[in-house]
Amino acid sequence: MPHDIEPRLLRAFLAVADELHFTRAAARLFVAQQALSRDVRRLERELGAELFVRTTRQVTLTGDGERLLPYARHVLDAQDELAAAFVRRPRPLLVDISATVGTGYEVLGRVRQDAPGLEFVARFLSGLTGAAAEILAGRLDVSFGRVAGLAPALLAGLEHQPVRYERVAVLLRDDHPLAALNEVPLGALAGETLYAGAGNAATAEWTDLAARLFEGRGISMADPFPEIVGNEEFVRVVRKHGWSVLVSTEFIDVPGMCVRPVVDPVPLSPVSVVWRKGLRHPGVDALRAAAGELALEEEWLKRDPSDWLPEGDMSLMGDNT
């Protein structure tokens, strides 16, 4: 077993392991595909093991490739940490906040005030499931959302800090009968069809929360539909299909529609700040500190025992209420 494997070879291996596609991996590393393939073959020779099964249709990891994966990540994380320790100004931190409202947006605003010497660049992805994949692939640093809804394979590579219980609400057309209420009892939604992101793989954690909430209550979920991008398109699709929408109380302004909190019981959507396991960056430390400050000041992690929350979420949020 060689003791001096070049980090470049491990980066080539990780890129292919993440993408399971040599062309996409080469584009991600800004190298020619031939050069990438050459580096992977060289790593296989040095290790004396085949790391990928390559066919004309797909690329998959072998058992040895799966075994190498955590070690390669550990080595490169350590190298990145070493390099960061000798960089005068840290690179910008890429932070997914989803939208210009809500928990992520508020935390980002606070940390920019608290740590003006650091750069936080906002990204606007549609869900934590999609963002988590981007974090593990190294294309994103931090996101916010419901970690209990992530697949175990995604969650295993992430760390998280509970930040807030957001209240669940419904987005209704202004002429909807329930729009006249200040708050909508959960039982009043029986017979309604609500859009909750079904069909959008990037928001699977939200769809899962909705399915748990709807179960046994006579609430139907709108049929799977492709990801809806942009406010104008969102309004068009929702209006055309006549959907009401399951949202959080803090939601973008949608013309012709209103947000009404759900009560009896109050359903909660737990939010954590999420980052890649092993990531060392002063921006992550500052972001976590800002999130903790806001959670304490605004009492974001306080809830009533009668509020609705799945048990799995309670354990991951460290909730002993």
Residue 275's φ and ψ, nearest 5 degrees, are -145, 165
- Please tell me whether residue 163 adopts helix, strand or coil conformation: strand
d(CA 231, CA 233): 5
What pLDDT is attached to residue 182?
Answer: 96
Query: Domain 93-165+270-316's class?
Result: alpha beta
Which of 19-23, 225-229, 307-311 comes out lowest in average pLDDT? 225-229
pLDDT band at 87 (very low <50, low <70, confident <90, very high): low
84: pLDDT strictly greater than 80: no
- Please tell me whether residue 145 adopts helix, strand or coil conformation: strand
Same fold, 93-165+270-316 and 167-263: yes
For residue 266, the one-letter residue type is V
pLDDT band at 88 (very low <50, low <70, confident <90, very high): low
| C-alpha closest to that of 284 among 187, 177, 86, 144 | 144
105: pLDDT strictly greater than 90: yes
For residue 119, the one-letter residue type is E
Segments making up each domain of the chain, as ranges: 7-85, 93-165+270-316, 167-263
* 148 touches 270 (CB < 8 A): yes
Tokens, residue 90: 């840290």
Looking at the DSSP bridge assignments, the partners of residue 168 are 248
pLDDT band at 197 (very low <50, low <70, confident <90, very high): very high
Distances (CA, A) of 221 to 158, 191, 196, 263, 279: 29, 10, 7, 19, 37
61: pLDDT strictly greater than 80: yes
* 65 touches 17 (CB < 8 A): yes
* 77 touches 85 (CB < 8 A): no
Q: Of how many residues is the chain composed? A: 321
What pLDDT is attached to residue 20?
Answer: 93
Residue 279's φ and ψ, nearest 5 degrees, are -70, 125
Task: DSSP for 227-277, please give it.
Answer: PP-SHHHHHHHHHHHT-EEEEESS----TTEEEEEEESS-BEEEEEEEEET
d(CA 206, CA 5): 42
Using a cut of 0.85, tell me whether the model's pTM lies above it.
no
What pLDDT is attached to residue 29?
Answer: 84
What pLDDT is attached to residue 254?
Answer: 83
The CATH architecture annotation of domain 7-85 reads: Orthogonal Bundle (1.10)
Which of 31-45, 138-152, 207-221, 289-303 comes out lowest in average pLDDT? 31-45
CB neighbour burial string for 260-295, b if at least 16 within 10 angstroms, e if fewer: bbbbeebbbbbbbbbbbeebebebbebbbebbbebb
251: pLDDT strictly greater than 60: yes
60: pLDDT strictly greater than 90: yes
* 107 touches 286 (CB < 8 A): no
What are the pLDDT digits (tens) for 65-79?
Answer: 999 999 999 998 888
Tokens, residue 51: 């790391």
Query: Domain 167-263's class?
Result: alpha beta
288: pLDDT strictly greater than 60: yes
What pLDDT is attached to residue 321?
Answer: 58
Provide the strand spans (E) within the chain.
Answer: 52-54, 59-61, 93-96, 120-123, 142-145, 158-173, 184-185, 193-195, 220-221, 244-248, 257-263, 268-276
- Please tell me whether residue 97 adopts helix, strand or coil conformation: coil
For CA atoms 18, 20, 23, 24, the dihedral sign is: negative
What are the pLDDT digits (tens) for 131-172?
Answer: 999 999 999 999 999 999 998 988 999 999 999 999 999 999
Distances (CA, A) of 306 to 130, 263, 285, 303, 309: 31, 10, 34, 8, 9
193: pLDDT strictly greater than 70: yes
